[in-house]
Amino acid sequence: MHSFLRSVGFSELKSREELKKLQNEILTAPTRRTIIKTGDGIRHLQLERDFAYGIGVAVRGDLDERGVFQLDHYYPYYRSDIVTSTEEVAVNKRMDTDAYTAMCEDMRLGVSLIFYLLNSVDYKRYADRLQDSSFIAPISLSALSAGGKILLGVDQSLREENLRSGAEEKKRDKLIAEARKGNQEAIDSLTIEDMDLYADINRRARKEDIYSIVDTSFVPFGSESDNYSIIGTIQEFEKIINNETQEEMYVLSLSCNELEFPVCINAKDLLGVPENGRRFKGNIWLQGSVEFSGDFPADAEKQD
């Protein structure tokens, strides 16, 4: 049983029989149906069923020569229609199933960002036209969470004192870009800056609560590359209902390390009351869609 099914309103789904019934429902009456035929002659099929706006369960598989669907895997999803960023993206196939993860370098995080690719069938359509292993494309990120809690927000007057100026932000982004190219001077500058930050945190932690020092965070979590432990500030929130199970869910629009994306969580799994300005702390499964346009990638050029 997929551990994030409860995130989209199926916390009471326990048996294989119930899961099979849900999969058959998706096959019979999907919200969206995508089918492609690759160069090897295999017909790949993806079926999605929304149980709330942008929230649902998908199944993927192949059609055999008789037109019978052979299930490969299924997964819950939350699709966001807001473009998070436009970055250089590399797509990789997972070893265990016919699913894909995408990786991009986001300057705001300073690390490689890996997410589960929701529209991998679209990627297969364009894969044979790719001129390189990576490409520039718009990305829409979202996430599911199976458990989290609400923290109080940080005093904004104190937070403003600790924010770097716009010029300093641009300087750091430039240093990160140079460090990725192997510039040793940039690497040394970032190392010294991180050491100073670590020393400052240690000094403040003796007298302050750690969650008043760490405003937001974005850290890899567990053995899966697309799972993260985060602390993010709630910008907006909405309570929605799964129209089949009637379970309540929250969609939290978060700002986390200057990255903005929504998180969907079952109301049963959220400890505390969400409000704008408060923070969410929890573990997430990061998902995302990459926009493959009609003239992509032939007219796209790789940028530094």
> For residue range 30-56, what is the model confidence (pLDDT) as tens digits?
999 988 877 666 788 899 999 999 999
**Residue 166: inside a domain:** yes
Q: Exposed (0-12), middle (13-18) or buried (19+): which is 246, by Cβ within 10 Å?
A: exposed
Q: How confident is the model at residue 64 (pLDDT cuts 50, 70, 90)?
A: confident
Q: Is residue 179 part of a domain?
A: yes
| 146 in Cβ contact with 290 (< 8 Å) | no
Per-residue pLDDT tens for 87-103? 888 898 887 777 899 99
Residue 186 resides in a domain? yes
The candidate with the shortest Cα–Cα distance to 102, out of 62, 144, 139, is: 139
* Mean pLDDT along residues 213-236: 88
Given this model, what pLDDT does residue 299 score? Answer: 36
Looking at per-residue pLDDT, the higher value among 221 and 78 belongs to 78
| pTM listed for this prediction | 0.82
Handedness of CA 291, 28, 36, 72 (dihedral sign): positive
Q: Residue 16 falls within a domain, yes or no?
A: no
User: Could you list the residue range(s) of the whole structural domain that residue 165 is in?
Assistant: 158-209
How far apart CA 88 and CA 103 sit, in angstroms, is: 8
Within a domain: 219 = no
Long-range contacts made by residues 153-162, C-beta under 8 angstroms, separation at least 24?
153/233, 153/277, 153/278, 153/279, 154/212, 154/215, 154/279, 159/215, 162/215
Q: Is residue 302 a part of any domain in this protein?
A: no
CB atoms within 10 A of CB 83: 13
pLDDT of residue 19: 92
Mean pLDDT throughout 123-138? Answer: 75
- What is the predicted pLDDT for the residue at 298? 37
Could you give the number of structural domains in the chain?
A: 1
| Residues 187/189/190/196 CA torsion (nearest 10 deg) | 140
DSSP state of 68: -
Q: Sign of the C-alpha dihedral, residues 67, 73, 74, 80?
A: negative
227 domain residue, yes or no: no
Assigned domain for 191 exists: yes
What local confidence, expressed as pLDDT, does residue 296 receive? 44
**5 contacts 74 by C-beta, under 8 angstroms:** no
